[in-house]
Structure 1
Amino acid sequence: MRAAFSRELVRLGQTDTNMLLLTGDHGYALFDDFRKECPAQYINAGIAEQNMVGMAAGLARAGFRPVVYGLSAFVPVRVLEQIKLDVAHDNLPVIFVGDGAGFVYSHLGTSHQSTEDIACSRSIPNLSVYSPADRFELAVCMEAAYRSQSAVYLRMGKCDLGDVHVAAPPASVGGMLEVKCGTAGDVTFIATGSLVSTAIAIADDGYSNASVWSAPFIKPIDEKQVTSICERSQVVVVLEEHSVLGGLGSVIAEIASEFAPVRILRIGVRDRFSHHCGSYEYLRKEHGLDRLAIAERIRYFLAGL
């Protein structure tokens, strides 16, 4: 997915010389191709993320299309006030890219883990939130972000988990994508980012008739589509490498409660910090987001109905 991101940056930069890439002293190897192909469009703002957002706002006012890159623990979390007041308040078309969302930077501790970024960003007016699951969704999200007339936060999680699509999916902004076709019935899975592949694996193992939907667009999201999915399901299981408070599970529950009440199991990070540092796989296991723990949680939930 990071390679796809690099390719999209180069493509957009070559297409539009007003597209500028700003980084907070991160991503050197990632931007090698962009710096080679579009050297005059690259700005290293240094470890000063708040200033970088203010710079991007000024550039957007001057007619440029800034892409602001950082680790998701810093962009958007550290710079939330600047995003809100400098960019979103005046509806400026700035693309914010938060890399390493969730537990990707697990060994660096709580300061670099980002499990609250969706909740923080989706409550800000004029700020869309995208969360691609693979390189195909990343390309769709980058194109949608570039065409947007307002601010977008694009969240990149674990990037080496493989594809969930076999080709570029037909997608519209706000729409979810069916990655495993099933029949209307008991259980439907909705997932985003790194947990889409896990949802597919769990459905293949024990829920052969279940549909699995990927949600690359958290905000906006097609409420009619969500309503239709909930109406056809007895239980909806939502998976995300993010807090259960304010993330995709909350989005689905909010829509369902108003238009199509259904039992919803929200699987994500509970209301706590990580207890220890370790590998990405260790952190997923500590928080009960590994495949076996998720499957057991679903079985327990369904048994209690």
Structure 2
Amino acid sequence: MLTGDHGYALFDPFRKACPGQYLNCGIAEQNMVGVAAGLAKAGFRPIVYGLAAFVPIRVLEQIKIDVCYENLPVTFIGDGAGVVYAQLGTSHQSTEDIAALRAVPQISIYSPCDRFELTACAQHILENSRPAYLRMGKADLGDVHRGPLTDWASGDLIPVTNTGASYLFVGTGSGVKLAQQAAAAIGNADVVSVPCLKPFPAASLRKLAEGREAIVTFEEHSIYGGLGGAVAETLMGQYLGTFVRVGIPDQFSTLCGNYPFLMESHGLAPEAVEKQIRRALDASIQYKR
């Protein structure tokens, strides 16, 4: 376990239990990735922890060259993804990490929505010997699933509800909770979660998308290059219905406040999301007429 001067209290139990397996590399994140690459070449399985604004964004070049180019089994954990570090401003928020890493070869990208998906993603990462990024928020929004996901394969979406409804709401990370709230408000919508964004579960999505009148994606990430982009790329040429991307618009956080305030300022409060989707659905109906 390597950290860049983060999470002292968080790692105290681990440091006491495994003192020889904990390394605080200080505020030198680029160097920390190089150390992790060296450890991986020596036969270890390094796990690199940092805020998502720093891991992967600050160390993108080192992830690309030191780890992915060598295809080394290094796991990167980006905590506080999205805008959950609301009071600390844009420097500590990460709304572009998925987009940045999707373009880097070799690396897998995971974005669990609750503790059960987190466990399943971690198990899958450790069963494979390739670079991986585990994206975590810190909003503590509660469970989506009722229990452990013992039969999940990373190549599949996870249906939260699958009744054959007209609309399909596709979420990742904290976006799954937002999708559930929107589905409850709008109705006639199934909700699915995407814990693994790369490799993207294209076959699973194409199957679930069949016959839907509208598809909406939900993510605490820029609308560019994240889940919405991956869904659009996958369904291009197959799906001709209404498509809506719910996420961070093309803007920085210019205000500080608590997490709900920041989500509201980016148009991601449940009421604003509901209005966005209803406008798109109404526009589609008018167009068809």
Which bracket does the TM-score occupy, shorter chain normalised?
A: over 0.9
- Report whether the alignment pairs 1:33 with 2:18: no
Deviations 1:169-200, CA, capped at 9 Å, x for gaps: 231113111112322x4211000111211211
Q: Which residue identity lines up with residue 98 of structure 2 in the other structure?
A: I
Offset of residue 278 of structure 1: 1.2
Deviations 1:50-85, CA, capped at 9 Å, x for gaps: 000000000000000000000000000000000000
Offset of residue 145 of structure 1: 1.1
CA distance in 2, matches of 1:258, 1:47: 47
Q: SS state of the match for residue 132, structure 2? A: strand
Please, which of 265, 269, 272 is the counterpart of residue 290 of structure 1? Answer: 269
Q: Which residue identity lines up with residue 290 of structure 1 in the other structure?
A: A
Gaps of 5+ in 1: 1-20
Match of 2:144 in 1: 164
Q: Is the 8 A contact 1:230 1:261 kept in 2?
A: no
Please, which of 174, 178, 189 is the counterpart of residue 159 of structure 2? Answer: 178
CA distance in 1, matches of 2:282, 2:63: 44
- Report whether the alignment pairs 1:255 with 2:234: yes
Q: Is the 8 A contact 2:84 2:138 kept in 1?
A: yes
Please, which of 93, 103, 117 is the counterpart of residue 113 of structure 1? Answer: 93
Please, which of 175, 181, 203 is the counterpart of residue 224 of structure 1? Answer: 203
Greater shift, 215-224 or 244-253, is seen at 215-224
TM-align CA RMSD = 1.1
TM alignment of 1:256-275, pairs within 5 A: 256-275=235-254
Q: SS state of the match for residue 118, structure 2? A: helix
CA distance in 1, matches of 2:115, 2:191: 18
TM alignment of 1:35-114, pairs within 5 A: 35-114=15-94
Q: Is the 8 A contact 1:133 1:214 kept in 2?
A: yes
TM alignment of 1:231-242, pairs within 5 A: 231-242=210-221
Seen in structure 2, the aligned counterparts of structure 1 residues 258 and 31 have a Cα distance that, compared at 3 Å, is: farther
Q: Is the 8 A contact 1:174 1:219 kept in 2?
A: no
Match of 1:10 in 2: none
Deviations 1:140-188, CA, capped at 9 Å, x for gaps: 11111111211001000134100000101231113111112322x4211
Match of 1:138 in 2: 118
Offset of residue 206 of structure 1: 2.3
Match of 2:177 in 1: 197
Match of 1:276 in 2: 255
Aligned residues: 283
Offset of residue 214 of structure 1: 0.6
CA distance in 2, matches of 1:210, 1:33: 43
Would you identify which runs of 4 or more consecutive aligned residues in structure 1 move more than 2 Å? 258-263
Q: Percent identity?
A: 52
- Report whether the alignment pairs 1:301 with 2:273: no
Offset of residue 261 of structure 1: 4.2
Gaps of 5+ in 2: 285-289
Offset of residue 92 of structure 1: 0.4
Q: Is the 8 A contact 1:59 1:65 kept in 2?
A: yes
Q: Is the 8 A contact 1:134 1:159 kept in 2?
A: no
CA distance in 1, matches of 2:240, 2:250: 24
Q: Is the 8 A contact 2:242 2:281 kept in 1?
A: no
CA distance in 1, matches of 2:16, 2:139: 23
CA distance in 2, matches of 1:261, 1:299: 18
CA distance in 2, matches of 1:210, 1:73: 33
TM-score calculated relative to the size of structure 2: 0.95
CA distance in 1, matches of 2:201, 2:120: 16
Q: SS state of the match for residue 129, structure 1? A: strand
Deviations 1:203-258, CA, capped at 9 Å, x for gaps: 12321x32100111010122111111222311100000000000000000000004
CA distance in 1, matches of 2:280, 2:17: 52
TM alignment of 1:2-41, pairs within 5 A: 21-41=1-21
